[in-house]
């Protein structure tokens, strides 16, 4: 039985091309199925007729089988499905009426013309609703024509009719109605099961597509802020926004290049990945937007989204936590690395540059100030510019302000952050 399954599967999929649409695949499969059912039924019909006595109809059923199978073989060689479908439906339609006319009338032939109903039903399944109308009209026309023959020739000498016993006629009435009904039922059931299979395949493909879409969404959100990613998907226009006030923070690992000289590339990557992954978690926790990493430097900003109104305070809290992690957690910082951190506040321009391998970035004097404040900082300390200091001084403690010289900016007052002030404590110096 298992050996027959591959053969049945090959017959079921015979003539089906990988490029066929699901609808065309179903039509081909149904027509093959119908051809097999009708060929089998005609053999059963003929063998039973022989057992009951009459043998005059053997040529026509045998010829029908040869035509059906011959047309099938021609199709498998030419793969012209339109011609194959037309010939098969024509055989379904005309052969039963020819058989009925050769035997006699509706009564004598036991209503064998009912088999022709498979032509319009088949056209409905194999071609489509609109095209099936012509086949149904042809069936009705031939049925009315046969009825006219019976009406006008009913009183004529019976020499043109074959002598068929009443018991045989009654038996084949039941047989014809049962067989045609069974074939119609099997075709409709097969069609429904195939449609369910197609629907299931489509659902599976849709689920896979959703998974890929979610994966792409996550990847895009790992590169861009959510509002920017949405705008990029919905518009081809360049994305550039101006922000009147944003806070930007740089964190730079002290002497990282010198410390990394004795490490393998894999060790350098593993160390940076562990540290920056912790920073990413902190940025998400405080509602801030990671911008990028630049070698051993980490850039994050606040005020680009609506997650936090006190984004400068969130940056300060994150900076303090970053320093604490590297100071206290040996699992993250086995080499006892230190950070220089700088925060600057002010206007920026933010946008996406380029069309390929794009990145969301910030530009402006505020970015330059934050970078310079970081590079001139003290290891293990957080330095902020004057505007950031004014935003933080009511909630955080600072060392006294110092004037330093920043490249490209001249002298500037910076403030070194100590920590968040305890509730009720008076402001420090």
Query: pLDDT tens, 9-68?
Result: 555 566 677 777 777 777 777 777 777 777 777 777 777 766 665 544 556 667 777 788
**What class has domain 238-420?**
alpha beta
Query: Would you state the torsion angle of the CA atoms of residues 398, 401, 405, 406, taken in this order, to the nearest 10 degrees?
Result: 40
Q: How confident is the model at residue 129 (pLDDT cuts 50, 70, 90)?
A: confident
Residue 238 has pLDDT above 90, yes or no: no
Domain coordinates in residue numbering, the chain: 4-214, 238-420
Phi, psi values for residue 424, rounded to 5°: 85, -10
Q: How confident is the model at residue 382 (pLDDT cuts 50, 70, 90)?
A: very high
Indicate the pTM of the whole model. Answer: 0.55
Q: Which of 15-24, 311-320, 336-345 has the lowest mean pLDDT?
A: 15-24
Per-residue pLDDT, averaged over 186-195, amounts to: 75
Residue 428 has pLDDT above 60, yes or no: no
Angle, alpha carbons 19-133-131 (nearest 5°): 20
In this predicted structure, what is the pLDDT of residue 370? 92
Query: pLDDT tens, 350-376?
Result: 888 777 767 788 989 999 999 999 988
In this predicted structure, what is the pLDDT of residue 390? 93
The string of DSSP codes covering 267-334 is HHHHHHHHHHHHHHHHHHHTT-EEEEEETTEEEEEESSSSS-S-HHHHHHHHHHHHHHHHHH-TTT-T
Question: How far from chain centre, in Å, is Cα 42?
Answer: 46
Nearest to 298 by CA among 243, 338, 341: 341
Q: Are 75 and 28 in contact (CB under 8 A)?
A: no
Per-residue pLDDT, averaged over 151-179, amounts to: 60
The H or E element that residue 370 is part of is helix 365-375
Percent of the chain with pLDDT over 90: 20
Largest CA distance in the chain: 130
Query: pLDDT tens, 198-235?
Result: 778 878 888 888 888 778 777 777 767 777 777 777 77
In this predicted structure, what is the pLDDT of residue 2? 47
């Amino acid at each position: 039985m298992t050996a027959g399954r591959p053969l049945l599967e090959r017959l079921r999929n015979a003539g089906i091309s990988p490029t066929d649409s699901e609808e065309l695949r179903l039509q081909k499969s149904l027509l093959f199925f119908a051809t097999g059912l009708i060929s089998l039924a005609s053999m059963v019909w003929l063998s039973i007729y022989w057992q009951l006595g009459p043998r005059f109809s053997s040529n026509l059923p045998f010829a029908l089988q040869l035509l059906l199978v011959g047309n099938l073989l021609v199709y498998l060689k030419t793969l012209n499905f339109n011609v194959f479908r037309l010939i098969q439906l024509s055989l379904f339609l005309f052969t039963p009426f020819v058989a009925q006319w050769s035997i006699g009338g509706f009564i004598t032939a036991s209503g064998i013309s009912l088999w022709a109903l498979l032509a319009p039903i088949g056209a409905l399944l194999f071609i489509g609703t609109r095209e099936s109308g012509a086949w149904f009209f042809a069936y009705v026309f031939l049925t009315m024509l046969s009825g006219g023959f019976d009406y006008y020739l009913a009183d004529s000498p019976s020499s043109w009719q074959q002598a068929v016993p009443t018991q045989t006629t009654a038996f084949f009435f039941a047989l014809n109605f049962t067989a045609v009904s069974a074939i119609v039922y099997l075709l409709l059931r097969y069609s429904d099961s195939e449609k369910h299979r197609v629907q299931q395949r489509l659902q599976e493909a849709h689920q896979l597509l959703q998974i890929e879409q979610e994966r792409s969404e996550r990847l895009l959100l790992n590169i861009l802020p959510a509002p920017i990613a949405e705008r990029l998907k919905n518009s081809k226009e360049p994305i550039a926004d101006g922000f009147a006030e944003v806070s930007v923070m740089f964190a730079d690992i002290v002497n990282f290049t010198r410390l990394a000289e004795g490490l393998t590339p894999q060790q350098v990557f593993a160390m940076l990945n562990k540290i920056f992954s912790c920073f990413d978690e902190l940025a998400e926790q405080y509602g801030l937007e990671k911008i990028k990493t630049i070698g051993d430097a980490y850039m994050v900003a606040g005020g680009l989204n609506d997650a936090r109104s006190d984004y400068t305070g969130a940056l300060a809290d994150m900076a303090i936590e970053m320093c604490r992690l590297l100071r206290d957690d040996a699992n993250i910082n086995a080499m006892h690395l230190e950070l220089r951190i700088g925060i600057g506040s002010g206007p920026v321009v933010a946008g996406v540059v380029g069309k390929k391998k794009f990145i969301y970035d910030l530009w402006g004097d505020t970015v330059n100030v934050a970078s310079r404040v970081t590079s001139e900082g003290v290891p293990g300390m957080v330095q902020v510019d004057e505007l950031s200091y004014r935003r933080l001084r009511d909630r955080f403690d600072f060392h006294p302000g110092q004037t330093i010289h920043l490249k490209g900016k001249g002298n500037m007052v910076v403030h070194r952050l100590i920590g968040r002030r305890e509730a009720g404590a008076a402001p420090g110096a």
